[in-house]
Protein backbone atom coordinates (compact mmCIF):
# COMPACT_ATOMS: atom_id res chain seq x y z
CA UNK A 1 0.00 0.00 0.00
CA UNK A 2 1.31 3.43 -0.97
CA UNK A 3 1.06 6.16 1.66
CA UNK A 4 0.10 9.60 0.37
CA UNK A 5 -0.88 12.98 1.69
CA UNK A 6 -2.73 14.16 -1.40
CA UNK A 7 -4.64 11.98 -3.83
CA UNK A 8 -6.32 13.17 -7.02
CA UNK A 9 -8.77 11.19 -9.17
CA UNK A 10 -8.86 12.23 -12.83
CA UNK A 11 -11.49 10.57 -15.03
CA UNK A 12 -10.37 10.22 -18.63
CA UNK A 13 -6.98 11.18 -17.24
CA UNK A 14 -4.61 9.47 -19.68
CA UNK A 15 -5.43 11.27 -22.95
CA UNK A 16 -5.95 14.82 -24.24
CA UNK A 17 -6.76 17.44 -21.62
CA UNK A 18 -6.96 14.79 -18.88
CA UNK A 19 -3.38 13.70 -19.50
CA UNK A 20 -2.04 17.25 -18.99
CA UNK A 21 -4.16 17.63 -15.84
CA UNK A 22 -2.78 14.35 -14.44
CA UNK A 23 0.81 15.27 -15.32
CA UNK A 24 0.66 18.79 -13.88
CA UNK A 25 -0.97 17.53 -10.68
CA UNK A 26 1.75 14.88 -10.32
CA UNK A 27 4.45 17.51 -10.92
CA UNK A 28 2.76 19.54 -8.17
CA UNK A 29 2.99 16.68 -5.67
CA UNK A 30 -0.29 14.81 -6.09
CA UNK A 31 -0.63 11.04 -6.40
CA UNK A 32 -2.98 10.19 -9.23
CA UNK A 33 -5.75 7.65 -9.83
CA UNK A 34 -7.06 7.56 -13.39
CA UNK A 35 -10.15 5.88 -14.85
CA UNK A 36 -10.54 5.62 -18.61
CA UNK A 37 -12.95 3.48 -20.54
CA UNK A 38 -10.14 1.82 -22.55
CA UNK A 39 -6.65 0.70 -21.65
CA UNK A 40 -3.98 0.28 -24.34
CA UNK A 41 -0.19 0.58 -24.74
CA UNK A 42 -0.54 4.39 -24.66
CA UNK A 43 -2.12 4.15 -21.19
CA UNK A 44 0.91 2.29 -19.85
CA UNK A 45 3.23 4.94 -21.31
CA UNK A 46 1.27 7.75 -19.69
CA UNK A 47 1.22 5.95 -16.32
CA UNK A 48 5.02 5.56 -16.55
CA UNK A 49 5.41 9.24 -17.51
CA UNK A 50 3.37 10.29 -14.46
CA UNK A 51 5.37 7.95 -12.20
CA UNK A 52 8.61 9.47 -13.52
CA UNK A 53 7.65 12.66 -11.61
CA UNK A 54 8.20 10.66 -8.41
CA UNK A 55 4.49 10.37 -7.57
CA UNK A 56 2.34 7.24 -7.67
CA UNK A 57 -0.13 6.63 -10.49
CA UNK A 58 -2.89 4.03 -10.46
CA UNK A 59 -4.92 3.21 -13.59
CA UNK A 60 -8.27 1.41 -13.70
CA UNK A 61 -10.38 0.74 -16.81
CA UNK A 62 -14.02 1.60 -16.11
CA UNK A 63 -17.02 3.37 -17.59
CA UNK A 64 -17.66 6.52 -15.54
CA UNK A 65 -21.38 6.23 -16.27
CA UNK A 66 -21.91 2.70 -14.87
CA UNK A 67 -22.42 2.65 -11.10
CA UNK A 68 -21.08 -0.86 -10.40
CA UNK A 69 -17.88 -0.14 -12.36
CA UNK A 70 -17.36 3.19 -10.63
CA UNK A 71 -17.84 1.56 -7.22
CA UNK A 72 -15.21 -1.06 -8.11
CA UNK A 73 -12.82 1.73 -9.16
CA UNK A 74 -13.06 3.42 -5.76
CA UNK A 75 -12.68 0.09 -3.91
CA UNK A 76 -9.49 -0.47 -5.93
CA UNK A 77 -8.29 3.05 -5.04
CA UNK A 78 -8.90 2.32 -1.34
CA UNK A 79 -6.85 -0.90 -1.65
CA UNK A 80 -4.02 0.87 -3.47
CA UNK A 81 -3.79 4.12 -1.50
CA UNK A 82 -5.61 3.32 1.78
CA UNK A 83 -7.07 6.81 1.79
CA UNK A 84 -9.95 8.92 0.46
CA UNK A 85 -9.32 11.24 -2.50
CA UNK A 86 -8.63 14.95 -1.80
CA UNK A 87 -9.49 15.98 -5.35
CA UNK A 88 -11.78 14.70 -8.09
CA UNK A 89 -11.55 15.98 -11.66
CA UNK A 90 -14.59 14.92 -13.70
CA UNK A 91 -12.91 15.22 -17.09
CA UNK A 92 -14.12 12.17 -19.08
CA UNK A 93 -16.35 13.28 -21.91
CA UNK A 94 -17.65 12.25 -25.32
CA UNK A 95 -19.51 14.00 -28.13
CA UNK A 96 -21.46 13.07 -31.25
CA UNK A 97 -22.30 15.36 -34.13
CA UNK A 98 -25.87 15.08 -35.44
CA UNK A 99 -28.85 17.33 -36.03
CA UNK A 100 -31.56 17.03 -33.37
CA UNK A 101 -33.95 15.47 -35.90
CA UNK A 102 -31.50 12.64 -36.72
CA UNK A 103 -29.78 12.04 -33.37
CA UNK A 104 -29.86 8.37 -32.39
CA UNK A 105 -31.27 7.47 -28.97
CA UNK A 106 -28.18 5.34 -28.25
CA UNK A 107 -25.90 8.36 -28.86
CA UNK A 108 -28.03 10.62 -26.63
CA UNK A 109 -27.86 7.96 -23.87
CA UNK A 110 -24.08 7.45 -24.17
CA UNK A 111 -23.25 11.17 -24.18
CA UNK A 112 -25.54 12.10 -21.29
CA UNK A 113 -24.52 8.98 -19.32
CA UNK A 114 -20.79 9.71 -19.72
CA UNK A 115 -20.74 13.49 -19.34
CA UNK A 116 -23.50 14.10 -16.79
CA UNK A 117 -24.27 10.83 -15.00
CA UNK A 118 -20.53 10.10 -14.82
CA UNK A 119 -20.05 13.44 -13.08
CA UNK A 120 -22.87 12.61 -10.62
CA UNK A 121 -21.72 9.05 -9.83
CA UNK A 122 -18.08 9.99 -9.23
CA UNK A 123 -18.99 13.10 -7.22
CA UNK A 124 -21.44 11.22 -5.00
CA UNK A 125 -18.94 8.49 -4.13
CA UNK A 126 -15.97 10.85 -3.66
CA UNK A 127 -17.95 13.34 -1.55
CA UNK A 128 -19.14 10.49 0.69
CA UNK A 129 -15.54 9.28 1.06
CA UNK A 130 -14.35 12.82 1.88
CA UNK A 131 -17.19 13.23 4.40
CA UNK A 132 -16.36 9.91 6.09
CA UNK A 133 -12.66 10.80 6.24
CA UNK A 134 -13.58 14.31 7.51
CA UNK A 135 -11.26 15.88 4.96
CA UNK A 136 -11.95 19.07 3.05
CA UNK A 137 -11.78 18.45 -0.67
CA UNK A 138 -12.13 19.94 -4.10
CA UNK A 139 -14.14 18.71 -7.06
CA UNK A 140 -13.56 20.19 -10.52
CA UNK A 141 -15.92 19.42 -13.38
CA UNK A 142 -14.76 20.00 -16.95
CA UNK A 143 -17.51 21.82 -18.82
CA UNK A 144 -17.54 23.43 -22.26
CA UNK A 145 -18.76 26.45 -24.23
CA UNK A 146 -21.93 24.34 -24.35
CA UNK A 147 -22.47 25.14 -20.64
CA UNK A 148 -24.06 28.39 -21.81
CA UNK A 149 -24.17 28.60 -25.63
CA UNK A 150 -26.25 26.69 -28.19
CA UNK A 151 -24.03 24.84 -30.68
CA UNK A 152 -25.95 23.28 -33.58
CA UNK A 153 -25.56 19.50 -34.09
CA UNK A 154 -24.40 19.04 -30.50
CA UNK A 155 -27.75 18.85 -28.70
CA UNK A 156 -26.88 15.80 -26.56
CA UNK A 157 -23.46 17.21 -25.64
CA UNK A 158 -24.88 20.68 -24.94
CA UNK A 159 -27.68 19.29 -22.76
CA UNK A 160 -25.12 17.29 -20.78
CA UNK A 161 -22.68 20.21 -20.32
CA UNK A 162 -25.53 22.60 -19.43
CA UNK A 163 -26.39 19.96 -16.83
CA UNK A 164 -22.79 19.95 -15.58
CA UNK A 165 -23.05 23.73 -15.04
CA UNK A 166 -26.10 23.38 -12.79
CA UNK A 167 -24.84 20.17 -11.17
CA UNK A 168 -21.74 22.12 -10.12
CA UNK A 169 -23.81 24.81 -8.43
CA UNK A 170 -26.15 22.47 -6.53
CA UNK A 171 -23.26 20.24 -5.44
CA UNK A 172 -21.34 23.32 -4.21
CA UNK A 173 -24.30 24.46 -2.13
CA UNK A 174 -24.99 21.00 -0.65
CA UNK A 175 -21.38 20.04 0.03
CA UNK A 176 -20.04 23.42 1.21
CA UNK A 177 -20.90 22.64 4.85
CA UNK A 178 -18.58 19.63 4.67
CA UNK A 179 -15.70 21.77 3.43
CA UNK A 180 -15.99 20.34 -0.07
CA UNK A 181 -15.71 22.89 -2.88
CA UNK A 182 -17.17 22.20 -6.33
CA UNK A 183 -16.25 24.25 -9.39
CA UNK A 184 -16.22 23.94 -13.15
CA UNK A 185 -13.56 24.75 -15.76
CA UNK A 186 -15.10 25.47 -19.17
CA UNK A 187 -12.56 25.18 -22.02
CA UNK A 188 -12.65 27.03 -25.33
CA UNK A 189 -11.15 25.45 -28.45
CA UNK A 190 -8.34 23.26 -27.10
CA UNK A 191 -5.87 21.53 -29.41
CA UNK A 192 -5.82 17.80 -28.62
CA UNK A 193 -5.40 14.67 -30.77
CA UNK A 194 -9.19 14.44 -30.88
CA UNK A 195 -9.95 18.04 -31.87
CA UNK A 196 -7.14 18.04 -34.46
CA UNK A 197 -9.20 15.49 -36.37
CA UNK A 198 -12.21 17.86 -36.46
CA UNK A 199 -10.61 20.18 -39.02
CA UNK A 200 -7.51 20.45 -41.23
CA UNK A 201 -6.57 23.67 -39.37
CA UNK A 202 -8.22 23.45 -35.94
CA UNK A 203 -5.69 25.83 -34.33
CA UNK A 204 -6.10 28.43 -37.10
CA UNK A 205 -9.90 28.18 -37.11
CA UNK A 206 -10.11 28.81 -33.34
CA UNK A 207 -7.45 31.55 -33.37
CA UNK A 208 -9.71 33.52 -35.78
CA UNK A 209 -12.72 33.53 -33.41
CA UNK A 210 -10.82 33.83 -30.11
CA UNK A 211 -10.14 37.36 -28.76
CA UNK A 212 -6.70 36.31 -27.44
CA UNK A 213 -5.87 35.23 -30.99
CA UNK A 214 -4.80 31.64 -30.43
CA UNK A 215 -6.12 28.15 -29.85
CA UNK A 216 -6.00 26.82 -26.28
CA UNK A 217 -3.72 24.04 -25.06
CA UNK A 218 -4.43 21.27 -22.58
CA UNK A 219 -1.91 22.91 -20.23
CA UNK A 220 -4.17 26.02 -20.07
CA UNK A 221 -6.94 23.86 -18.62
CA UNK A 222 -4.54 22.01 -16.30
CA UNK A 223 -3.35 25.36 -14.85
CA UNK A 224 -6.93 26.33 -13.95
CA UNK A 225 -7.54 22.91 -12.36
CA UNK A 226 -4.40 23.29 -10.23
CA UNK A 227 -5.70 26.66 -9.00
CA UNK A 228 -9.10 25.20 -8.08
CA UNK A 229 -7.47 22.18 -6.43
CA UNK A 230 -5.30 24.18 -4.06
CA UNK A 231 -5.56 26.54 -1.09
CA UNK A 232 -5.34 29.69 -3.23
CA UNK A 233 -8.99 29.07 -4.22
CA UNK A 234 -10.16 28.09 -0.72
CA UNK A 235 -13.08 30.61 -0.73
CA UNK A 236 -14.25 29.80 -4.26
CA UNK A 237 -17.08 27.35 -4.89
CA UNK A 238 -19.99 26.93 -7.31
CA UNK A 239 -18.13 28.87 -10.03
CA UNK A 240 -17.29 28.27 -13.66
CA UNK A 241 -13.92 29.54 -14.85
CA UNK A 242 -13.88 30.16 -18.59
CA UNK A 243 -10.53 29.12 -20.03
CA UNK A 244 -11.37 30.09 -23.58
CA UNK A 245 -9.29 33.13 -24.55
CA UNK A 246 -12.52 35.13 -24.41
CA UNK A 247 -14.17 33.12 -27.20
CA UNK A 248 -17.49 32.57 -25.41
CA UNK A 249 -17.67 36.11 -24.02
CA UNK A 250 -17.62 37.66 -27.47
CA UNK A 251 -21.10 38.59 -28.77
CA UNK A 252 -22.25 38.14 -32.34
CA UNK A 253 -22.53 41.75 -33.56
CA UNK A 254 -23.62 42.84 -37.04
CA UNK A 255 -21.81 46.23 -37.17
CA UNK A 256 -18.12 45.49 -36.55
P1 LIG B 1 -10.39 13.14 -25.34
O2 LIG B 1 -11.31 12.38 -26.24
O3 LIG B 1 -8.95 13.22 -25.67
O4 LIG B 1 -10.51 12.59 -23.85
C5 LIG B 1 -11.70 12.10 -23.34
C6 LIG B 1 -11.35 11.07 -22.28
O7 LIG B 1 -12.57 10.59 -21.69
C8 LIG B 1 -10.63 9.87 -22.84
O9 LIG B 1 -9.56 9.57 -21.96
C10 LIG B 1 -11.66 8.76 -22.80
O11 LIG B 1 -11.14 7.49 -22.52
C12 LIG B 1 -12.47 9.19 -21.60
N13 LIG B 1 -13.80 8.58 -21.63
C14 LIG B 1 -14.72 8.69 -22.61
N15 LIG B 1 -15.82 8.01 -22.26
C16 LIG B 1 -15.58 7.47 -21.03
C17 LIG B 1 -16.32 6.67 -20.16
N18 LIG B 1 -17.58 6.30 -20.43
N19 LIG B 1 -15.74 6.27 -19.00
C20 LIG B 1 -14.46 6.64 -18.70
N21 LIG B 1 -13.72 7.41 -19.49
C22 LIG B 1 -14.26 7.82 -20.65
O23 LIG B 1 -11.06 14.58 -25.22
P24 LIG B 1 -10.55 15.98 -24.64
O25 LIG B 1 -9.29 15.80 -23.90
O26 LIG B 1 -10.61 16.95 -25.74
O27 LIG B 1 -11.74 16.34 -23.65
C28 LIG B 1 -11.65 16.22 -22.24
C29 LIG B 1 -12.82 16.98 -21.61
O30 LIG B 1 -12.78 18.35 -22.01
C31 LIG B 1 -14.18 16.46 -22.04
O32 LIG B 1 -15.08 16.51 -20.95
C33 LIG B 1 -14.61 17.45 -23.11
O34 LIG B 1 -16.01 17.54 -23.24
C35 LIG B 1 -14.02 18.73 -22.55
N36 LIG B 1 -13.82 19.78 -23.56
C37 LIG B 1 -12.83 19.70 -24.48
C38 LIG B 1 -12.65 20.71 -25.42
C39 LIG B 1 -11.57 20.68 -26.43
O40 LIG B 1 -11.49 21.61 -27.25
N41 LIG B 1 -10.71 19.68 -26.46
C42 LIG B 1 -13.53 21.89 -25.43
C43 LIG B 1 -14.55 21.87 -24.42
C44 LIG B 1 -14.67 20.85 -23.52
P45 LIG B 1 -10.50 6.57 -23.70
O46 LIG B 1 -9.24 7.26 -24.09
O47 LIG B 1 -10.29 5.28 -22.99
O48 LIG B 1 -11.53 6.51 -24.78
pLDDT along the chain (256 residues), means of 10: 73 98 98 95 95 97 98 98 97 98 98 98 98 97 97 98 98 98 98 95 98 98 98 98 97 85
Residue 157 a catalytic site member: yes
- Candidate from 23, 37, 145, 205 with most ligand 1 atoms within 8 A of CB, to mutate: 37
Q: Please report, in angstroms and rounded to a whole number, the separation of the first and last CA atoms in the chain.
A: 61
Q: What is the pTM of this model?
A: 0.97
Q: In this structure, are residues 91 and 164 in contact, taking their beta carbons and an 8 Å threshold?
A: no
Q: How far is CA 254 from CA 101, 163, 251, in A?
A: 29, 31, 10
How many residues make up the chain in this entry?
256
pLDDT digits (tens, 9 = 90+) for 158-174: 999 999 999 999 999 99
Phi, psi angle pair for 65, to nearest 5° = -100, 5
Classify residue 146 by its DSSP letter.
Answer: G
* Domains of the chain from N-terminus onward: 7-242 (3.40.50.720)
Q: Which atom of ligand 1 is nearest to the CA of 221?
A: 30
Amino acid sequence: MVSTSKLAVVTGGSTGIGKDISLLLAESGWNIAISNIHADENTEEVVDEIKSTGRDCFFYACDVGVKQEVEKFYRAIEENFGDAPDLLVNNAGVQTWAPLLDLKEADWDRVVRTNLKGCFLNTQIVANLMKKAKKPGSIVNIGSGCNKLAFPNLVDYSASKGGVEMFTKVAAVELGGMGIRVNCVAPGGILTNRTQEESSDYAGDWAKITPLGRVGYAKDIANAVIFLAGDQSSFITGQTIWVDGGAFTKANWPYA
